[in-house]
A = this chain, B = another copy of it.
């Protein structure tokens, strides 16, 4: 149940209403563990029922209405540590882009190149998003991080920032590697379309 771990991790930055949690999820932990809102609310209720979260009503608006605010209960904190303590299980590769590329001989003319350009566009967007995230973490301006850091000593803050930047640097390196891979694929397709024109070994005088 990794969504559960992601929710525990987010709530370790401080109590949140369900509404705020969903908003902060998509702008923080959701970048490394995506989950649709429709999964988050029922999971919060289950975690509350199991005693991992405590809750209290907080005022909402001006008409005396309330919303439920969730906080990590001691059992939730223990579950967070337990999650970090478990060995990670790796799933075997299921990569649709790699599968596609391995059989490009079946792609109609131009389609393989279009696929690789879409791959580059996808990871270019992720690369930019990740760069912004790393900047907001390093400058400590990311609101979820700022809230979290307020709970710790300066030395601990430094470590927390480094861990988060480290995680996003892995995402950045992955995006950059996918872009480089797809560019290499475009080169291969070009070589196949125009054999001989881009091979410097065949150039006169070399």
Give chain B residues whose Cβ lies under 8 Å from the Cβ of A91: 34
A105 in complex: contacting residue of B95, B122, B156, CB < 8 Å:
B156
Cβ B93 vs Cβ A33 within 8 A: yes
Give chain B residues whose Cβ lies under 8 Å from the Cβ of A135: none
Q: Which of A15-23, A63-71, A111-119 contacts B (4 or more CB under 8 A)?
A: A111-119
Copy number of this protein in the oligomer?
Answer: 2
* Interface residue? A88 (CB, 8 A): yes
Q: Which of A5-13, A41-49, A52-60, A197-205 contacts B (4 or more CB under 8 A)?
A: A5-13
Which residue of B has the minimal Cβ distance to A80? B106
Cβ A111 vs Cβ B84 within 8 A: yes
Cβ B93 vs Cβ A106 within 8 A: no
Residue pairs across A and B with Cβ atoms less than 8 A apart, 7 shown, are A33-B93, A33-B94, A88-B100, A88-B118, A102-B163, A104-B166, A174-B174
7 closest A-B pairs by CB? A34-B92, A102-B167, A84-B107, A104-B163, A101-B167, A170-B181, A32-B98
